[in-house]
Amino acid sequence: MNGDMIERVIRGRYKLIDERGRGSFATVYVARDLNDNRIYAIKVMHLELSNDGELLARFQREAHILLNLSDPHIVRIFDYGNDDNMHYIVMDYIDGQSLKYFMVNQGPMDALRAFHYARQIAEGLEAAYKQGVVHRDIKPQNILINSKDMVKITDFGLARGRDTVTLTQSNVFMGTAYYISPEQAESGRSADTRSDLYSVATVLFEMLTGYPPYKGETAVDIVLKHINDKIPSVCRLRPDLPMEMDPFMQKALAKSPAERFATPQEFITALEQIQAIVERGPGRPITDGGGVRPSRPAPPKEARIIVLSNGQIIPLKNELMVVGRQDPTLGIFPEISLADKTVGRRHAYLRNQNGTYTVEDLNALNKTRLNGVTLTPHEERTLKDGDLLRFGSVEVRFEAR
């Protein structure tokens, strides 16, 4: 498949206008929907491979998995099908670059930026975990960063597959070898969410240091190091990191899955603790006469919501805040104004009760949802960091740090 695909129209609807990326069995194009003029990304399987049953099953599996996953950090699918033996998947167009692009062109990242990306990857994997989906190929090439610095996980072609990629295909496997978990590389051992989290940790290691944890001349060399070699000290390679970073990596990159973080949320919680140390800076508390650091009261958490569609940040500063849609004619000016017709004028309450935040639906027509669950009107629900709220069709993330 080559440049002559440009200008081709698939299913009489999707016009290919540019090539975005090319892989071993599919090419991703930028496409325009002739029905509504919207821009999409469309993944087209190479025509010469369409009779390969195994590759075709992998391609179709990716479409089915994406249809059942809904999360701000996972690329959305809108359509898929077959046009004259040309198999395609229509997805969200992401205006941005892959994480690999930033790593290659900018080198080691600021720690807080690296944590920001790693957390978002883990949040996407949390949604997959809840649906029983294992990605199996987390690597910088499969992580897109949009223009608002939001992570989008893509390429679920290997998700939930039973067969490990053979190590004899070194030219194909090399990119994945840097990030693969030991159990995934070993024959007869299945991957689960802990395998994906191992891969996230290797990506985080590379974001912080500029190099993946293990290097080698061949894919086999690298995989054997994942299985046998001691976990490198990230603090030795990056001395500005807090000493707590090494224990985090030791757990995240443990050889045995049973010794790692069990769930994405557990990974996120541990990462947040490291982030808090970095945010406080290098200063140490003053010790008392006996050399023991006196305890300090925990600083009050600063809470906010982030509108996921546009990245707008809204601080939560009052004890009681109305979420709704402004209507000057009726004299309605909610503290948190969301300009969307699906949002009621007085849609919900957000409360701050001594640092504990809650949400209450005000019997809005289009309802309030918390992590996908529709709330019962006038019933308060406690919020925790990372919760996803939906007011009508406006989705926001609650953060308290």
Residues classed as catalytic? 137
- Chain position carrying tokens 């546009």: 310
- Which residues are registered as beta bridge partners of 350? 321, 359
Q: What are phi and psi of 175, to 5 degrees?
A: -60, -35
Contact status, residue 47 vs residue 66, Cβ threshold 8 Å: no
C-alpha–C-alpha distance, residues 140 and 201, integer Å: 11
Contact status, residue 386 vs residue 398, Cβ threshold 8 Å: yes
Q: Give per-residue burial for 292-317: e unless 16+ CB within 10 Å, then b.
A: eeeeeeeeeeebebbbbeeeeebebe
C-alpha–C-alpha distance, residues 290 and 256, integer Å: 40
Give Dmax (Cα) for the chain: 80
Contact status, residue 31 vs residue 14, Cβ threshold 8 Å: yes
SS3 call for 259: helix
C-alpha–C-alpha distance, residues 369 and 24, integer Å: 41
**Which of 30, 24, 32 lies closest to 48 in space, CA to CA?**
24
Q: Which pair of tokens denotes residue 79?
A: 């359509």
